[in-house]
Structure 1
Amino acid sequence: MFQLRTLICVFFSWSAYCSVNDTIEGIPSRKDILKLANEASNLLHESNFEKSFATSRLALHYALALKDNYLIAKSYNTIGANYEELSEFDKAILYYKKGLEFANLAENDTVKNWINNNLGNIYCFEKKNHKVGIPFLNQSLLFNEKSKDTTKIVYTKSNIAWAYFDINQFEKGKPYLDFVNKYSLKYGHESDLVILNMLNGMYQGHIKDYSKADLYFLKAIEIGQKTNNGVDLATSYLEYSNHLFKIEDFKKAYLYLVKYNQLIKEINNSQNIKRAKLVGINIELDEYKRKVGTITAENSLQYQNLKKSKVIVVLFIIVLCVLLLQMYTLYKNYLFKKKVNLDLTLANAELIVAKEKAIEASMLKSQFVSTISHELRTPLYGVVGITNMLLEEHKELENSPHLNSLKFSARYLLSLINDVLQINKIEENRIVLEDLTFNISDEIEMIVNSLSFIGKNHNNTIEIKLDDEIPEFLIGDKLRFSQILINLISNALKFTKDGTVTVFAKLIKTEGIKYYIEFKIKDTGVGIDKEDQNKIFDKFTQVGRKEIDYQGTGLGLPIVKKLLELFGSTITIDSKLGEGSTFTFTIAFDSDLKKTNEIINNMEVDLSSGQVFTVLIVDDNIINCMVTQKIIEKRNYKCIVVNSGKEAIKRLENASFDVVLMDINMPEMNGFEASKIIRSMGIVTPIIALTAFNKEEVIEEALSAGMNDIIVKPFESYVLFKTINQLIYKDSEPLNV
């Protein structure tokens, strides 16, 4: 009998939810509904069960209409507490559990705490199901400890202590009782003193301190009589009677049991409780009405669903037909894709074959270019060499137009071969830029001077305009840079008559040691039509030949474009027919004095001291042998000529030479084979390959054969002598890749 102790948990915090003032038409505001719910709680506390029931019923009606889970839970909690006070414990449990459902939806710890506490009390003290009840009380204690409300903690722990005492587990309940004894005077209520003294009496009786037990029980009865707390007083009568019965004071035990029965009878027979039960019946009727309404709504919904079922069936059949049609379409698509995939597989196989053929064709092209260049370079070496010999030996022929034409034609043919090889190298990514120190002013002057004969032929003047801000020495690949300028300036001179070609160089920005220089090649020639400006960078393409026949391979500008790509640059053109053309590009060169000095110090110099060397020439081509011999003897070197690799080996067995000039492509025994045999004999004489093959094509085989360097024919004589001197003075070091 612990009904009135639930009243403390029914009070609600007014400040938590009073800020919401939303109203629905025909329904009071939330603030007003909360006021009704609080009024119902107060009436319950005053034991005015009839009015408390009626007010809770009205608050529940409005809360359900407003769909406010917190207010619904609060109303159900108050209704459950009323039923608990009327000893309708099953109904109380029913409404408490309904309230707990809505409290969980509201996620409000306060109302969940109250309902858990009330359920715990009913299960423990009325239904005597402590196994179910104590977990509810422990859950309530968790909420109290979370909110740090000591008053509620004292209250809940007294209930837990009583629950354990009720099942004779005094040792488990003792810690809770100790806590309540310690804090009850500060945080408890006067009405709680009845139960607190009763619990202390129960514990003292358990430990057989009967005198203290009597004092506590009598104190509880005294306070209950003063405060007119009928329910807690009746409980104290009952527990004291049980205690007296245990100590075999049967007369006194019977006396207090009679008092308990009389008090309970008075409470149950009061008019308030009877009227309250009638109001409770109305609340139950409301619940039944709500259930009936729900069932009616469900039936109506089922009827509507049945009414729509025919439409649904028809729609289902339509959807099924659409799905079947889609499946058929998917199947057709599958067959189509299967056929397409098969076609693609066959096409891929054909593409693979085509790719292999293209690779093979590319290799054949490279091989063809290499072979053609070799076959052309060999006779050209003789033509250029003999022409130079004639000009040197017969000074009177220096101005001969026929001999000059022969020399020009030979050099033109050599330039054509070099262009073809150059574009082939670039396309195969076999060019790597080098870092060399050069004076840009000297480099441009040298290029302009070497092309001046073209300018004279067309009566052109060449101007150079250099920015003074450009450093004296730059670091970069001067050979590739020279190729770019030579192609652009020679083109400008060829397509200009009686005009001017200007070379501009301007520093536009610097970033650290990088100097970005903008170059412009401007002419006053025939110009290029706008439609043709995109074509001029294509290989073997020439424009404007309908009017005048300009010599050239059509490779100059494509080479320029690809070389600039290696520099990370691009070229632009600005041209109008009859007004001339301007080609513009920018290259970033380094300028670092320390690095420049290092490069200059590491440069190879001509170590020739005028010493006479003995040279062995090995070549099967009589004309080439004659040209090479003349070049060697002009330097006053001693020279021995043999026409095969075998003869060279015999000569080296019987005589010593300072250097061997070895042709590669010879019958019976080529230069590689001869060099291997020479090295196997322990002969360390430097061997220089004189060949018409491109250097990159034979360098690996030359290294493995023991050769020291390679010179490609035709060559300038100073290159040959520089190489000879370097090898002799460096003790025949191996070929430097």
Structure 2
Amino acid sequence: MAQNDISSTSQVQSIFDDFLKYRHQNKMDKALESLNEASEIAENNEDAKLLLDTYHQYSRIYLEEGDRETALFYWDRASILLKDLSYPFGNAFHKYLEACIRFDEGNNFQALKLLEESRTLSNNRNLGNNILLLEGYIYSNIEKYEEAKTNLNALIVNSDDKERPYLATKANIQLAKISRIQDDLEDGIMHSKAALELSQKYSYYKEIKAANQLLSDIYEKTASYEESLFYRKNLEQIKDSLFNIDKVKLEAKTADKIRFDHQMNEINKLTAKNEELSESKNRSEITAILTSAFLTIISLLAVSLFRNNQIKLKTNDLLYTKNKELELARDAAVSAMEAKTNFLSTVTHELRTPLYAVTGLTHLLLEENPADHQKEHLKSLKFSGDYLLNFINDILQINKIDADKLEPLNIEFKLEKVLADVVDSLQQNANENNTKLILDYDSNIPKQLLGDPLKLSQIFMNLVGNALKFTKEGKVEVIAKLLRKEEDQVTLYFEVKDNGIGISEEQQMHIFDSFEQGSVQINREYGGTGLGLTIVKSLLGLFDSKIHLESEVGHGSSFFFEMNLKLDNNTLEEIAFELNPEEFNFKGLHVLVVEDNKINQVITKKMLSKKEITCDIANNGNEAIDLAKANTYDAILMDIHMPGISGEEATRQIRKFDMEIPIIALTAISLDDSLDSFYQAGCNDVVTKPFKPEVFYQKIGENIFRKKTGGVV
């Protein structure tokens, strides 16, 4: 008996080896005949495991040939057998086949999940390699090309004892397809030729055709038309010989006969069972009717559940694909935004250096009593430089807001002084337009507040500057009122209103968008960048506040908002102490100028000499440290962006041996710069290049003389 079992097992193994060879060579008729022989042995020996294996292979080969209905028929038969079997490999292969069916439906996501389940049920090497191949196809479908290539490259060097060359051939073909998609045509040709060599050696007819098709397409894409034509002719010969009509008819006839025989066998079994039940006297006719009705209902429910499950699986795959597309679109948009932000930051920063030379030299020439005809040209040049500087500053500001580089400060400041400074600085603009500029400040507003005076100043500079631009011979009012006062904060109302040209309702809808000024005519007549109100809106957003607008054409406009500010209850009332620029006695001061740009060195030195200030020049941070150690200076003017060590690092090093000397940062602030970082490094103040001469002198005077008078105040 044992001898017969061994003989039977050996015979079955030989039959399955023949089946694999015929399947690989696309000889479907012979492959099916081999399976039919194995299934007869299984039925005769009542070997359920062997019968399950044959059903699985039937299902697989019909699925590969596109006969989905028959494939499902055999898969269902296998499902029934599995219920009464303890067969880990059979369960694993069943899951793998189900993954193949889901993949054929287009349900990539569900197929991957089933393959993972299959892998955990059996460590069979051949099954594991087939799982790798199917995963490679699925990853290709969902555009995870790197994961696909990892699987496929592993199969090229596989050591499978049953399908080594076949798996390597299939892997090379899929890698060639991926290379063609990624425009790596050299790699595509290499993998296609490797596949062609293997498929010709082992007579894999389908793969011979696929490899020739790939080579023809890729060579055509590289404009190698002779090579493309060669493989195109190979394809025609294949169609005339290996894939002829007679062969297809024979295979179809064999497949139909085997399928018919199996299905008739199932019908005969069911008929016999039905007759057996009919002869039973222990079942009443009513029971049979109820059973039939129950089975019908269950069948309908099963069909409904199956369809719903199919819809769910397809929806999951569709959502997965769409989510990936959205992720790719999002990443592309983020990359584009980052590229735009970095580009604008670089451009605005680089423009500041030559602009410093333009504005600085213009100022110096105007100071040297030019002829009247020269003075007119120099004033025009100065106006153009100032306009360009404002434009660059606006773009940098918007860029910082877009890149989330701005955060509001929370420091002590005097609100009335901030607003008064804005009004004073724009008073000249108002006088040129014969416009009254008035500050209406509520005296009930607490003196000491916590907030960000710089950003508040920017908000009002833009709002007031905008109002003055569009108001001729009229009035502009800046209003600050106390609405509510609580224990630790106040709510303030701010308004900037004018009686200028006004804004139409249609224009009000877009007035806060970037580069919008209402109309082309307004832009031509009044000039400007159209960024001011966009900056205001964005800066107020940092304070959780919102700008509002009321306007009527010909009757002016009103911009208003509310803002919550913290009270500074810990600050003692300070003695009023202001330094007047006219009172600064610069004569005899000696400072260190740290600047790597030669033109900037000349301009800064010239501007200092105008006030009888002498200076030494350091070309970089290291020179600055050495000079600061060896000499005594009244102040250091420190450029931040320099080759070698930066101005920030040089400031840190100087602070290690001199904590008293005033250090003023002179810098063309870029996107990544932070005023906080300058102060943290040890700078006393910051002047942004290109700077206005009056601001330059004011900062030098304030820092040097505040230090000298600090003990008195």
Q: TM-score, normalised by structure 2?
A: 0.49
Work out which of the two has the higher radius of gyration on C-alpha atoms and give 1 or 2. Answer: 1
Q: TM-score, normalised by structure 1?
A: 0.48
